[in-house]
Amino acid sequence: MICAGIDAGSRTIKIVLMTTGSQEVIAKGLADQGVEQDKLTQELFQKLLKKSDIDRKDVTRIVATGYGRNAVSFADTTITEITCHAVGVWQLVKNAMTIIDIGGEDSKLIHLDKTGKVRDFAMNDRCAAGTGRFLEVVARRLGVGISELGQMSAKSRSPAPISSMCVVFAETEIIGLLAGGIAGEDIIAGVQAAIAARISALAGRNIDTPIVFTGGVALVGGMDAALKSALGQTVTVSPFPQMTGALGAAILASNQITYY
C-alpha cells in the first residue's frame, strides 16, 4: 500500500509517495504554487501516480503540511510543518539537533531532542528580510536568476552591509548601492549575510549541533556559508532540502500519526 506526504508551501508544492511498510520513497515531485492551490496539488498528485503506475485506490493515507495545507481538499489530515520537517530531517540525518528551515515567506529554527522530537522552535513569519523573498528581490534587481546567486556571491571580496531590517526598505537600499557602483556580487553576499543574521537572532546564544539546513533557500549557493559565519558553527545542507517537509508528512502518514 502507498501513502503520500504533501507540502503545500508558499512558493512550491512538494509531494512524496512512499510505501507504508518499508517506508521506501517511490516517487517525489514539485510544482510552482499558485492561486488554485487545490487544483495544482491534485494535478501534481495525479502526475506522480501516473508516472509511478499507481492506482489512486492504493493510496491509503495522505497527510498535508505547509503554508497551504488547509487548501488540500483530498488530504486525510494536516500536520504542522514544524513537526513534518523534524520527522523528515531526522529520517535523513539521524543525529540532527537543530533545523534551520528557510522558505519563500518564513524561516524557522527548530530544536530537537535526542530522539528527534521537537523540543521547541522559533519562527519569523512577519518580515521577509529573513526569507527567500529577500533573495528574490535582489535577484530581480540585478536581473539574474536565483540559481545564479551562489556563483556571484562566491566572487565577493567585500560584502555590502545591508542595514535595513525590512525587505521593502532593503530594496531601496540595494538600489542606492547599485547607483553608488557597488558590485552585484558584493550586494548578494551582503543580503545573504543579512538573512543569516536574522536566523542567528532567532537562535540566540545557545544552539545545539549538528545543525541541518533545509527549505528551498538551502539550494542557493553561499547561504550555508553565510549561516556558518553568523552562527559560528558548521551547518550541513539536508539531502533533498526542498522535500523534507513532504517526506516527514509521508512518514507520518505511513505511521498513521496525526501529532506527537
What single letter denotes the amino acid at residue 111?
H
Among 215, 258, 254, 250, which Cα is nearest to 235's? 215
Task: Return mean pLDDT, the chain.
Answer: 90
The set of cell numbers assigned to 222 is 553561499
Which pLDDT tens digit goes with each residue over 113-170?
A: 999 999 999 987 556 556 788 888 889 889 999 889 999 999 999 999 887 666 667 7
pLDDT for the residue 259: 40
Task: Report the percentage of the chain scoring pLDDT > 90.
Answer: 71
Domains and CATH numbers, the chain: 2-88+242-255 (3.30.420.40), 95-238 (3.30.420.40)
Mean per-residue pLDDT for 194-220? Answer: 91
pLDDT for the residue 167: 66
Least confident of 192-196, 227-231, 242-246: 192-196
Which pLDDT tens digit goes with each residue over 183-196?
A: 999 999 999 998 99
Query: CA angle at residue 209 from 235 to 164, to 5 degrees?
Result: 50
- pLDDT top residue among 186 and 106: 186
- pLDDT top residue among 133 and 43: 43
CB 208 within 8 A of CB 111: yes
pLDDT for the residue 127: 60
Which pLDDT tens digit goes with each residue over 52-80?
A: 999 999 999 999 999 899 999 999 999 99
Query: CA angle at residue 35 from 32 to 38, to 5 degrees?
Result: 80
Sign (positive or negative) of CA dihedral 92, 49, 146, 166 = negative
